[in-house]
Amino acid sequence: MAATIPSIACLGVIGRNNNPLHITIFPSYDPASNTRAPLRTPLQFSLLLSSTLDIFETRARRAAPSATGGAPAAAASSTPLLTGDFGLLHAVDERLAAYGFETNTGVKFVAVVDMRGRFSPAAAGSGGGGGGGAAGIRGGVGLRETELRVVFRAMQNAYVRLLQNPFYDPDEHAPLVLPPGGGVGGKKITSRKFSEEMRRIGEGWAPGVTNL
């Protein structure tokens, strides 16, 4: 098996009405042909992102009862969900795993990680064969949930910056009150800057990266 390290296969931004705002797909390394190609089709990634929404919902509901209990003591004793970091949402197969984050405004970021997505020359050179984790570089197993935090932080920065753009109208994308005609809403993010930022984040991340 070639020496590979995890990489991001897909980044998704999902609006508050569970509408897709942005999806970027990144190619994975294929050791057989020594090329980089997306692991799944765009439709499959889209379905994968959709399937994470249920997990977001169940976890949010599990966190909610402490608040609806009403008594402040109860809310204080049970640890409230402090950050919007949902960690690992689900592992799709031995290669793909989805991690999630939700902002206080209800925007969800999902990062699909390919555990063997990138060829690592360092691992190949020093490892000289062996299993997934060769010589110092952590392999496919045991990716820590906190390692994706830097990705979500960068994504949130990009999203905040997008909202500071006066030409971006959030109500065209995820309106709070759906208009009766259903005329507007559900648009995708078309900002080129935002797309480039997503691409940069996805390509720049590797396990252990602390700054994006």
156 binds other proteins (CB under 8 A): yes
Segment lying near other proteins (by CB under 8 A), choices 22-30, 36-44, 59-67, 87-95: 59-67
Under rule CB under 8 A, how many of the chain's residues touch other proteins? 27
- φ, ψ at 12 (rounded to 5°): -125, 140
Report in angstroms how near the CB of residue 169 gets to other proteins at its nearest.
Answer: 8
Give which of 31, 41, 51, 16 is closest to 186, Cα–Cα: 16
| 90-119 residues near other proteins, rule: CB under 8 A | 103-106
75 binds other proteins (CB under 8 A): yes
* Under rule CB under 8 A, residue 121 binds other proteins: no
The sign of the dihedral angle between the CA atoms of 161, 167, 173, 178 is positive
Handedness of CA 171, 173, 177, 181 (dihedral sign): positive
Q: For residues 103 and 119, what is the distance between their CA atoms, to the nearest angstrom? A: 32
Per DSSP, 144 falls in state -
The answer to the question of residue 51 lying near other proteins (CB under 8 A) is no
Contact between 187 and other proteins (CB under 8 A)? no
Side by side, the strands of the sheet bearing 96-102 are 20-25, 4-14, 108-119, 96-102, 85-91
Stretch that binds other proteins, among 41-49, 112-120, 126-134, 170-178 (CB under 8 A): 170-178
Q: Among residues 84 and 132, whose Cβ is nearest to other proteins?
A: 84
Q: Verify binding: residue 170, other proteins, rule CB under 8 A.
A: yes
Beta bridge partners of 187: none
Strand partners, 37: 28
Positions touching other proteins (CB under 8 A) are 16, 63-64, 66-68, 75, 80-84, 103-106, 156-157, 159-160, 163-164, 166, 169-170, 176-177
